[in-house]
């Protein structure tokens, strides 16, 4: 039964949420206000998190386009208000050698009147054909009659030109102008003159679909029929240059109603996709216009086309294209030797990359993690705010009771502080725990003293006044006062000398060793930061050290290129943030060991809650940035090392300067009078440097070093995930067991008060550098090495390492627990039962456990 009770008691000690009695709970108005505000914030943020969880987003991914052999579909709709349909032709040309002149497949032309109204719609190759005239032309007057080509070579094998279109093709093939069709018999029969005169004042809408090769090329809409001549692409522009029957000139003013590459996206899909994509899914040339009065204008659109695929959660896939456009226009001369052609040209350039938009939705575990981060973070911050408010209120009431602040009763209301009538001093314990649901406070006992009236007169004058005597109080002569002061000063100096004796013996080779440590240890850290990288530990740069390379590395340009000032800001911000948490977070106040001047200092135990708050707050802060922000630490590791070294020197210098103030308790081994040894080396001069109640040594001894070490490990783990897309099992083991050691130390925070660092050593460069730089920057080298050189362990290797580490941790925790138990209370019954005595050869005894 006792054994079981002991196990249960040890298990109960793991409770991180210690309960307090309801009798010690005090509820205040400020606590209620903080509770309500924090509750509202939690509700709002949780609803926002729920909305984000239910909303799917489209995440882009860039890959190489492997569908280059496919055809590229093009859908277009363009209106030309000042040129008739019979003059427009569409041609396709690309780098693969494809030349399609007068392309008519799936192309439609719509005749428009001067007001833009539709007249009729026909396939392009049929537009303007007068079937009656054509049939008339095809019915020769005599059997076997062959129409003349008027000196040009016939486009047919029979050598005849029986239609006006054949005559036109023959003239174009010969390179002759076809400006006046009325001189050709075939054209007269088919009514071409009437067509020219009827349509000369019309406009044209041309629309349809094309299918081109996914290679660089162009398609264009230009005047006149096109043909190849001497390996050149030529258009018959005679009719275009001739103009209308009333003498007006045609031009290529146009309005692009639509230009789409690939599958058209429905409006529903556009709205759905646009929620998560960083680009608008619209065609940049849709509903754009170009107007001119010049008949010789050439409009060019240079298009960069990127294949795009949308993958939805339902499994549906949609393929389309996005494009960017650069516009250019220039005036083309119509004389001989001028290059260019009036018209509208679309020059296509196909990107070799493809963008894939994958529809994703946050996982349920990320939703739960976000909710926990919100609740925990707000509760923690609210607890800090409420603690500050309560302390301010307590101090205000204490000063009010002491008479330093006079406040009308109407403002103070009913006071919680009670003063006994006639008593010069009253002690009252203010006990409080939670304010509102979920905000736990440590039980505190504050002594409130009754007001003390300030006296202008001396004690003797006050005594005379109370006795009713009118005899003035005599003042001692000046020489007596001076002698008395000298005597007090002499006594004070004598007492200080006894309390802080001069150090007469050195450790670690004295000032010379101290100088070597102060210079050498930072250089070791910088060596690890500079000469350990992806090329090896040490790196190839180390083996190539020479005078030239050293001068380059130490040059100001190289320093500026490799030192990031933001790392200094982040590092010192991290230290300040931990200090704020140490002061603001609630925690149990415990007594340290008794000092040689008889004092017992108090320390607040909240290192583990500081770590919890730090992780929670950072999880919320980096949630929007992703873990990519953590890679900044690895990329700027050298800058963080420099920042920690500089901070170590500054802290060492400050505590050394502060140790000369009166009333300081110095370390026995750090009062040599030698600057290098006292501040620069290990021991340090002052034993417990403090700023008010903030103990600098106690803070730096446990928080920036261990918590900083854990943060560095997590940043290295994140960097490996960013580089590999996964985390190796070796990295997991390193970070996990180092985190176990760190959490164990923070959980047993009180045990550090009995260590030599706190009871004997002063605070100087040794502890400052060791905790601010060496521990976080050097202890993380294992994780940093695995970023550049990932290692995958098999199950046997991982099992052996895990067993060794667990065994080592068991021995470590057991031995440290026994040492702390002995240091805390060496006369405890449990300690006496486990004490053993070893007789040494010199006759002395050595106690062991």
Alpha carbon distance 286, 283 (integer Å): 6
Task: Give the number of other Cβ atoms within 10 Å of residue 588's Cβ.
Answer: 14
Among candidate residues 752, 650, 743, the one with its CA nearest the CA of residue 701: 752
Alpha carbon distance 731, 167 (integer Å): 82
CB within 8 Å of 43: residues ≥ 6 apart: none
CA atoms within 13 A on the CB side of 703: 28
Using DSSP, state whether 164 is helix, strand or coil.
Answer: helix
Classify residue 718 by its DSSP letter. H
Give helix 729-747 / helix 781-788 axis angle, nearest 10°. Answer: 160
Residue ranges in the chain whose pLDDT is less than 50: 1-4, 126-141, 276-278, 336-337, 409-493, 680-681
Alpha carbon distance 691, 697 (integer Å): 11
Alpha carbon distance 646, 648 (integer Å): 5
Q: Do 118 and 105 meet the contact criterion of CB atoms below 8 Å apart?
A: no
Sign, CA torsion 38/40/44/49: positive
Alpha carbon distance 593, 824 (integer Å): 8
Alpha carbon distance 794, 802 (integer Å): 12
Q: Do 194 and 101 meet the contact criterion of CB atoms below 8 Å apart?
A: no
Alpha carbon distance 285, 322 (integer Å): 11
Task: Give the number of other Cβ atoms within 10 Å of residue 656's Cβ.
Answer: 22
What 3 state SS string does 224-260 have? CCEEEECCEEEECCHHHHHCCCCCCCCCCCEEEEEEE
Residue 305, burial from CB neighbour count under 10 angstroms (0-12, 13-18, 19+): buried
Q: Do 384 and 52 meet the contact criterion of CB atoms below 8 Å apart?
A: no
Q: Give phi and psi for 414, each to the nearest 5.
A: -75, 125
Q: Do 251 and 295 meet the contact criterion of CB atoms below 8 Å apart?
A: yes
Alpha carbon distance 786, 730 (integer Å): 8
Among candidate residues 701, 558, 691, 574, the one with its CA nearest the CA of residue 643: 574
Q: Do 340 and 332 meet the contact criterion of CB atoms below 8 Å apart?
A: yes
Task: Give the number of other Cβ atoms within 10 Å of residue 277's Cβ.
Answer: 18
Query: Which pLDDT score, from 0 to 100, does residue 192 have?
Result: 67
Query: Which pLDDT score, from 0 to 100, does residue 193 have?
Result: 67
Helices marked H in 585-636 — which ranges? Answer: 607-621, 631-635
Task: Give the number of other Cβ atoms within 10 Å of residue 663's Cβ.
Answer: 8
- Reported as type and span, the H/E element at residue 646 is helix 637-658
Strands, E, within 250-365: which ranges? 254-261, 288-290, 297-311, 317-331, 343-360
Q: Do 763 and 653 meet the contact criterion of CB atoms below 8 Å apart?
A: no
Q: What are the structure tokens assigned to 630, written together?
A: 């953590």
Using DSSP, state whether 85 is helix, strand or coil.
Answer: helix
Q: Do 47 and 39 meet the contact criterion of CB atoms below 8 Å apart?
A: no
Query: Which pLDDT score, from 0 to 100, does residue 102 have?
Result: 57
Query: Which pLDDT score, from 0 to 100, does residue 842 have?
Result: 58
Q: What are the structure tokens assigned to 443, written together?
A: 């039980």
Query: Which pLDDT score, from 0 to 100, does residue 105 have?
Result: 67
The residue to which tokens 């739960």 are assigned = 368
Among candidate residues 719, 692, 799, 768, the one with its CA nearest the CA of residue 391: 692
Pairing of strands 297-311, 317-331: antiparallel
What is 570-594 written as a DSSP string? HHHHHHHHHHHHHHHS--EEEEEEE
Name residue 380's beta-bridge partners: none
Q: What are the structure tokens assigned to 77, written together?
A: 């709709």
How far does the chain reach from its first CA to its final CA, in angstroms?
Answer: 25
Q: Do 367 and 375 meet the contact criterion of CB atoms below 8 Å apart?
A: no
Using DSSP, state whether 298 is helix, strand or coil.
Answer: strand
Task: Give the number of other Cβ atoms within 10 Å of residue 828's Cβ.
Answer: 12
The residue to which tokens 């005595």 are assigned = 837
CB within 8 Å of 31: residues ≥ 6 apart: 386, 389, 390, 434, 435, 436, 439
């Amino acid at each position: 039964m006792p054994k079981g009770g002991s196990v249960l008691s040890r298990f109960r000690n793991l409770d991180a949420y210690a309960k307090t009695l309801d009798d010690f709970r005090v509820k205040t108005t400020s606590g209620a206000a903080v509770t309500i505000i924090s509750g509202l914030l939690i509700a709002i943020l949780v609803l926002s998190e729920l909305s984000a969880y239910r909303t799917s987003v489209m995440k882009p991914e860039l890959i190489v386009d492997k569908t280059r052999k496919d055809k590229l579909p093009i859908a277009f709709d363009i209106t030309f208000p000042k040129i008739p349909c019979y003059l427009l032709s569409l041609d396709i040309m690309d780098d693969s050698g494809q030349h399609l002149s007068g392309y008519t497949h799936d192309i439609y032309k719509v005749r428009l009147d001067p007001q833009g109204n539709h007249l009729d719609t026909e396939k392009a190759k049929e537009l303007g054909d007068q079937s009656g005239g054509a049939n008339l032309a095809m019915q020769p007057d005599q059997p076997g009659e062959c129409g003349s080509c008027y000196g040009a070579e016939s486009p047919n094998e029979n050598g005849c030109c029986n239609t006006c279109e054949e005559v036109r093709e023959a003239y174009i093939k010969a390179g002759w102008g076809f400006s006046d069709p009325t001189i050709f018999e075939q054209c007269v029969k088919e009514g071409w003159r009437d067509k020219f005169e009827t349509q000369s004042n019309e406009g044209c809408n041309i629309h349809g679909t094309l299918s081109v090769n996914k290679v660089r090329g162009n398609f264009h809409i230009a005047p006149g029929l096109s043909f190849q001549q001497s390996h050149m692409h030529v258009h018959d522009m005679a009719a275009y240059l001739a103009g209308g029957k009333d003498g007006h000139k045609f031009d290529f003013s146009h309005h692009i109603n639509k230009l789409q590459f690939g599958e058209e996206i429905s409006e529903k899909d556009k709205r759905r996709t646009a929620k998560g994509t960083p680009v608008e899914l619209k065609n940049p040339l849709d509903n754009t216009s170009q107007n001119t009065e010049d008949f010789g204008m050439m409009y060019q659109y240079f298009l960069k086309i990127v294949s795009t695929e949308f993958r939805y959660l339902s499994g549906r896939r949609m393929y389309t294209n996005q494009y960017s456009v650069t516009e250019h226009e220039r005036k083309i001369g119509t004389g001989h030797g001028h290059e260019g052609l009036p018209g509208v040209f679309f020059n296509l350039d196909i990107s070799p990359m493809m963008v894939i938009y994958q529809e994703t939705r946050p996982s349920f575990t990320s939703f739960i993690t976000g909710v926990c981060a919100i609740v925990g973070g707000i509760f923690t911050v609210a607890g800090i705010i409420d603690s500050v408010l309560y302390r301010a209120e307590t101090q205000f009431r204490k000063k009010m009771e002491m008479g330093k602040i006079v406040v009308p009763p109407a403002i103070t209301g009913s006071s919680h502080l009670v003063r006994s009538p006639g008593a010069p001093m009253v002690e009252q314990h203010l006990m409080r725990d939670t304010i509102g649901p979920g905000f736990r406070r440590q039980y505190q006992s504050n002594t409130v003293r009754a007001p003390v009236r300030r006296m202008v007169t001396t004690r003797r004058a006050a005594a005379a006044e109370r006795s009713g005597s009118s005899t003035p109080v005599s003042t001692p002569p000046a020489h007596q006062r001076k002698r008395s002061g000298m005597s007090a000063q002499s006594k004070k100096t004598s007492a200080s000398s006894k309390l802080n004796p001069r150090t007469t013996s050195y450790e670690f080779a004295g000032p010379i060793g101290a100088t070597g440590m102060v210079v050498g240890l930072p250089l070791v850290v910088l060596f690890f930061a500079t000469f350990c990288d992806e090329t090896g530990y040490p790196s190839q740069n180390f083996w190539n050290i020479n005078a030239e390379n050293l001068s380059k590395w130490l040059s100001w340009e190289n320093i500026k290129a490799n030192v990031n000032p933001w790392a200094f800001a982040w590092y010192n911000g991290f230290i300040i943030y931990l200090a704020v948490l140490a002061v603001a977070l609630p925690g149990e106040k415990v007594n340290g060991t008794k000092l040689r001047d008889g004092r017992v200092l108090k320390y607040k135990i909240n290192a583990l809650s500081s770590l919890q708050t730090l992780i929670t707050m950072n999880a919320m802060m980096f949630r929007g940035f992703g873990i990519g922000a953590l890679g900044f630490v690895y990329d700027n590791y050298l800058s963080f090392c420099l920042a920690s070294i500089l901070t170590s020197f500054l802290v060492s210098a400050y505590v050394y300067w502060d140790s000369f103030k009166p009333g300081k308790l110095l370390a026995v081994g750090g009062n040599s009078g030698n600057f290098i040894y006292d501040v620069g080396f290990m021991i340090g001069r002052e034993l417990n440097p403090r700023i008010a109640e903030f103990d600098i040594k106690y803070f730096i001894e446990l928080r920036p070093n261990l918590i900083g070490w854990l943060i560095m490990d997590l940043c290295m783990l994140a960097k490996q995930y960013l580089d590999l897309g996964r985390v190796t099992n070796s990295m997991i083991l390193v970070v996990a067991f180092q985190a176990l050691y760190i959490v164990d130390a923070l959980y047993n925070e009180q045990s550090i008060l009995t260590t030599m660092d706190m009871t004997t050593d002063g605070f100087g460069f040794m502890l400052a550098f060791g905790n601010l730089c060496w521990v976080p920057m050097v202890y993380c080298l294992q994780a940093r090495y695995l970023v550049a050189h990932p290692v995958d362990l098999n199950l046997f290797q991982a099992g052996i390492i895990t067993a060794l580490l667990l065994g080592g941790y068991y021995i470590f925790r057991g031995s440290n627990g026994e040492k702390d138990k002995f240091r805390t209370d060496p006369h405890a019954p449990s300690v006496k039962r486990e004490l053993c005595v070893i007789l040494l050869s010199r006759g002395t005894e050595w106690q062991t456990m």
